[in-house]
Every structure is written in structure tokens, then in C-alpha cells.
Structure 1
Amino acid sequence: MDFNEKQIQILKVAEKLFAEIGFDGTSVRHIAKEADVNVAMISYYFGSKEKLLEALLLYRVADFKMELETVMVQNLPHVEKLDALVSLMVNRIHRNRRTHKIINYEYTNTCRQIDFDAYVEQKKDSLGIIEAFVKDGQNKGVFKTDVHTKLLGATVIGTYFQVYNNKPFYKKLLGLDSDEAFENYMLTSLTQHIQQTIKSLLLNEK
């Protein structure tokens, strides 16, 4: 998806508001005020609040696909590329926590008139890139063949949010005395733990 600078500004403001006060609690007028644009501009670019959310999801998933392809073209051994892939995923989840929060609620809301089909297809394309990488590793004997490849992403995301959504508990459990220390832990030690987990699932024993 190609968005101009002003559209991206609107999308990021909408993302913040949708995550903080909910889709229903956020008005187009509120988004316009926070983004310092007029309501007519949002209507011109996106048409409606529902279409704005659809555009936000496509913007985020298309951006992920580009970053994913950048990792996949690197000339690295499979194990190093796997670590780079997991690191990318954790970093993106951490940066885009708001989007995940929105998706988790809105995608399961059967009363909502939002078209998720394009988002799902883009997401499947990205997962297809990961599956192709794993398949190549399996063909070369690096990765196990009895692995549910489609659930690897869920393993990464689930582990991340289990810790992040229970932040007060894990700060005490891990002896992290500040939010800054917790944020650093998520992008270092937790990332390494998830890398180890995914490798234990995938790598053939030697």
C-alpha cells in the first residue's frame, strides 16, 4: 500500500486512539483534531472510520512484508536467519502493540462491518514467506519436518504478549525495577528466550 505523509500521520493517530479508547469511542472528528487535519480530508482519503481501520491494518501488514523480505534475502545460514527473523517479529510486535490490540478486539467482533479479507490475504502472504524459508531448511536437513509451521508465529506472539500483558507480575518476578528495564528486557532477554524456543522446535539434533 502506498500512502503519502499526511495519510500515514492520520493512520498513526487513529491507531493510537483506537487502541486507547476503542474503535467505538473514537470519532472521526477526534482523529482529525489529534492529527491536525480537517474531517473532510479524512473522508477524502479514507471514506469512513471503518475504511480508515482497514487501511491501517493493510499499512501495517504491508510494512511487515517488506521488512520480512529484507531479512529473507540476506546471505546467512538458516540458523542465523531464523534468529534474525524472530528478532524482527518481536521488535515489530513491540512497536505495533496498539495494532495487535485493535485486531484482537475488532476481528472477533461479529457486529462490526469491517472487511478483513484484504488484511488476511496480506498476512497469509507474509506467513507464506516464512513457511517457504522453513521448507527450504527442511529440504536441506537443517529443520525438523514434523513441525506445525503455521503456528510458529503464534508461538512468538503468544509468548511476547503473555509477558507484556502481565507486566506488573513479570517486573516483580524478574527483578526489573523500572519500565525502562522492562522494555529493555523485552527486546533482549525475552527475544533471546523466544529465539531459543523456536530453534528447539525447528532444529534437528546433531
Structure 2
Amino acid sequence: MLLKRNFNDKQIQILEVAETLFAEKGFDGTSIRNIAKMAKINIAMVSYYFGSKERLLESLIVYRTSDLKNQLEHLLLEDLEPLDKINKLIELYINRINSNRGIYRILHFEFPSKKSKQNLSVFSELKKGNLKSLEIIIKEGQNKGIFRKDIIIPLITPTILGTFFHFHMNKPFFENLLNLKTEDLYNNYIKTNLTTHIQQTVKALLIYEMGTPEMLCKQ
């Protein structure tokens, strides 16, 4: 069940401080006391608004991703070819992750990599919703004979995210290799070159190598 999406100014202040600390120290390395101290508020206020650190993280996910679902739903309704929808979906993913690197790093690396009892239902719901949008677009392309029938759809998302995170986790190496001397150059490279590379990679996975099955039958 999703938490409420309308946060007041004080809640937003707490969420943004928590995001900063989670990104710097990790989820386990950050305490409610740390968050309250940096936000310059009473520790009881954090507990009053969010109850626990896990619930605070769920609220942070909602705060940072609440409009993504609407964007994906709008994308599904656009009058575009399936491949164009896939390209726009990848742009949405990369822009969103690059703008919120800290929280996505925690969600995709800290939690899955340990035997955690935390059950982030909000994050699970978000991933299921994103996967459903991807499935709808790919099945549309399959029905039109554009996309392969043997695509393993759940592996498309890790292909997108894995490429981005490999690039970002090796930031100093790629900054030096690609002469990305400023943060603006680095971010622009992600927005253009890296995004295009991921789009081309996914396209290669989706499209028939030598045309549609009908074309192959005629050869």
C-alpha cells in the first residue's frame, strides 16, 4: 500500500536531509538521531511523522518517484511506435536515476546485497509498476511483428540500470578516459552519449537481426 504523496514543508525538509545522509553514510550508517541533528529538529518529530527509519525511506521513495508512474502511464497513451516508446522510457529512467543517484544506489545495491528483514513494499510496488509498463510496450511491438518473441522482459530493466550504475560507480575512470573535466560535462554525457548507448543496446536485444519472421520466411 503506497504512503500518502502529499508532504508538508517540514516532512520534505526531513526527507531531503535523510536522502543526503543515506547517500553519504548508507542506510545502516544513518540514524534517526543523525537526521534530526542535521535537520535541526527534535528527534521526536521524525518519529511522529514517519515512525521508523524504514518508513522514512519508503516515504522518500514516494517523494522522489510519485510522478514517475504518471509519466509512464502518459507514455503508454502516446501515439508513438513501440521502439520510440522504449527510447522515451529509457530517457525517463536515466534522467530520474541520475537526478537521484544516492537513493537509487541504496535501493539497488545496499538492500539487495544483504540479508535484510526490511520489506520495502513501496519499492516493490514501484518496480512492478515499471515492469508492467515495459511489458505493455514490448508486447505491443511483438504484436506488430517488430520485436522478438523470445525476449526475457524482466532482464531489460537490469540491462538499463546495470549499464548506468557501472558507468557511475566508475566515475573517476570514465571522467579521465572521456575527458569529462566538469560535472556539467559528466551529466551531459550521461544525458546524451550514455543514454543513446543504452537505447542502442536495448534495441539490439528487441529487434530481429535480419528483419521480421515474415521477411525471414521469404528468404
Structure 1 gaps of 5+ residues are none
Partner-residue secondary structure (3-state), 1:67: helix
Q: Deviations over 1:13-47 (max 9, x none)?
A: 21110110122332223212333443222111111
More off after superposition, 157-166 vs 117-126: 117-126
Asked if the contact 2:85–2:137 (Cα under 8 Å) also holds between the matched residues in 1, the reply is no
Q: Which residue of 1 aligns with 2:153?
A: 149
Counterpart-to-counterpart distance in 2, 1:198 and 1:69: 21
Q: What residue ranges of structure 2 are gaps of 5+ in the alignment? A: 212-219
Answer with 1 or 2: which has the greater Rg.
2
> What are the within-5 Å matches in structure 2 for residues 34-113 of structure 1?
34-103=38-107, 104-110=109-115, 112-113=116-117
C-alpha distance in 2, partners of 1:113/1:79?
Answer: 39
Most deviating of 182-191 and 74-83: 74-83
Residue number in structure 2 paired with 1:131: 135
Q: Residues 121-169 of structure 1: CA distance to partner in whole angstroms, max 9, x if unpaired?
A: 3311221111111111101112111111111111111111111111121
State the TM-score, normalizing by the size of structure 2.
0.84
Using the TM superposition, give the Cα deviation of residue 72 of structure 1 relative to its aligned residue in structure 2, in angstroms.
2.0
What is the aligned length? 205
Aligned 8 A contact 1:51 1:114 in 2: no
Letter in 2 for 1:85: L
Against the structure 1 CA distance between its residues 186 and 53, is the aligned structure 2 distance closer, same or farther, given a 3 Å change threshold?
A: same
Stretch of structure 1 that moved more, 47-56 or 184-193 = 47-56
Segments ≥4 residues shifted beyond 4 Å: none
Taking every aligned residue pair, what percent have the same amino acid on both sides? 45
